[in-house]
């Protein structure tokens, strides 16, 4: 089945100038097509003189890379440290950006005192109190209320200190607490695993989770697709992805791509070939994601490769190998992924 987008692309009607010819930024191309483009940001990046101008030119929304995680916000029980998150919030507000939140409830990046506290007393304020503190302090555009609650193989809920303490109902509790804390913030369930490959079992598990929440009238507004793709592994199955996103749209939920990047591990040594593969997979993913009116935002995780350091254990790190996951390279020069994003953005139908 040839989509309208593919037909138009064939006619060249979607030709979008590359960045070299066109100073429009990703945020302006996105805005013209009715959605938001943003990127993750971290306080260490704001200290890099080159980075803020690029972020401000390209993005209209930021998401904290790690500054909103509980191990940063509440390192000791009852003692919140919002200083790092305030830096990002003030930067956004002073520069006209919105901010989305990530995450409120996650199995990972929790302070060491939390698990024993929950084991000692299944105190719901240890969940709802944190959510209330964050959402009352920041007027977030949207927030990942619960992050990565499903096992990657789709066989059930991921074990966590939250599941141990409150059972599956912790997810409902979190969304109700978030709605009560700030009714204006879009409430998102965020996960990875639906983007590439068949992943039928994971997608079924995600729909089962969402349907349960909706059936219990839990205040859920959107699904967050993290969008951590692989350029040399599973590829996007465009038909299966399209069918899945239609299911999400049919449930009245919005869709956000929350952490887009394309891992080029396993690629050839030739940089140009790696960059082309990253761009191609980006385009194949976004063409489908943007072909549904439910999609309201696309955010990349790292806007540039400058900080995309592979983990120390990465086999090729010792050889100087570095990821090339984002639309800008380590010198902040645009890569083919930028053009692929601009073309996918510009090709979005807006008359739905």
Provide the binding-site residues for ligand G3I, judged by CB under 6 A: 42, 44, 65-66, 69, 109, 226, 259
Residue 137 corresponds to which tokens in the numbers above?
């302090």
Query: 158 in helix, strand or coil?
Result: coil
What is the rounded distance in angstroms from the CA atom of residue 282 to the CA atom of residue 7?
Answer: 19
CB of 330 to ligand G3I, least distance (A): 16
Smallest separation, CB 110 to ligand G3I (Å): 10
Q: How far apart are CA 341 and CA 275, in angstroms?
A: 13
CA end-to-end span of the chain: 19
**Burial status of residue 128 (CB atoms within 10 A of its CB: 0-12, 13-18, 19 or more):** middle
199 Ramachandran zone, left/alpha/beta (phi>0; psi -120 to 50): left
Nearer to ligand G3I by Cβ, of 69 and 348: the residue is 69
Least Å distance, CB 14 to ligand G3I, is 31
Q: Which is nearer to ligand G3I, 193 or 267 (CB)?
A: 193
Task: For ligand G3I, give the closer residue by CB, 200 or 309.
Answer: 309
Q: For ligand G3I, which is the closer residue by CB, 47 or 57?
A: 47
Least distance (Å) between residue 323 CB and ligand G3I = 11
Query: Whose Cβ is closer to ligand G3I: residue 4's or residue 47's?
Result: 47
Cβ neighbourhood burial of 107 (10 Å; 0-12, 13-18, 19+) = middle
User: Of 25 and 226, which has the nearer Cβ to ligand G3I?
Assistant: 226
Rounded-to-integer distance, Cα 289 and Cα 257, Å: 8
Q: How far is the CB of 307 from ligand G3I (least distance, A)?
A: 8
We find the least distance from the C-beta atom of residue 348 to ligand G3I, in angstroms, to be 25
How far apart are the C-alpha atoms of 293 and 258, rounded to whole Å?
A: 16
Angle at 293 between CA 289 and CA 296, to 5 degrees: 75
């Amino acid at each position: 089945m040839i989509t309208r987008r593919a037909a138009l692309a064939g006619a060249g009607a979607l030709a979008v100038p590359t960045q070299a010819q066109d100073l429009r930024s990703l945020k302006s191309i996105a805005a013209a097509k009715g959605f938001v483009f943003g990127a993750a940001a971290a306080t260490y990046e704001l200290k890099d003189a080159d980075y803020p101008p690029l972020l401000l030119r390209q993005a209209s929304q930021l998401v904290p890379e790690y500054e909103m995680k509980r191990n940063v916000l509440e390192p000791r029980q009852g003692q919140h440290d919002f200083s790092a998150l305030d830096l990002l919030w003030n930067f956004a507000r002073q520069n006209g950006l919105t901010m989305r939140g990530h995450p409120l409830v996650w199995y990972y990046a929790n302070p060491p005192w939390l698990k024993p506290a929950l084991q000692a007393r299944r105190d719901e304020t240890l969940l709802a109190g944190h959510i209330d503190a964050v959402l009352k302090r920041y007027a977030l555009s949207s927030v990942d209320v619960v992050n990565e609650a499903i096992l990657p193989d789709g066989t059930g809920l991921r074990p966590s200190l939250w599941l141990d303490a409150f059972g599956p109902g912790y997810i409902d509790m979190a969304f109700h607490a978030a709605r009560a804390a700030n009714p204006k913030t879009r409430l998102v369930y965020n996960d990875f695993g639906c983007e590439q490959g068949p992943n039928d079992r994971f997608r079924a598990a995600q729909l089962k989770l969402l349907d349960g929440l909706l059936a219990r009238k839990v205040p859920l507004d959107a699904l967050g697709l993290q969008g951590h793709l692989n350029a040399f592994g599973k590829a996007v199955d465009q038909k299966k992805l399209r069918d899945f996103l239609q299911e999400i749209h049919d449930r009245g939920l919005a869709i956000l791509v929350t952490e887009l990047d394309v891992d080029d591990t396993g690629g050839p040594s030739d940089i140009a070939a790696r960059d082309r593969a990253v761009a191609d997979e980006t385009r194949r993913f976004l063409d489908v994601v943007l072909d549904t009116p439910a999609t309201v935002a696309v955010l990349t995780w790292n806007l540039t490769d400058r900080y995309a350091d592979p983990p120390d254990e990465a086999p090729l790190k010792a050889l100087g190998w570095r990821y090339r996951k984002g639309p800008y390279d380590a010198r902040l020069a645009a890569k083919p992924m930028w053009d692929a994003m601009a073309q996918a953005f510009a090709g979005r139908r807006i008359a739905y």
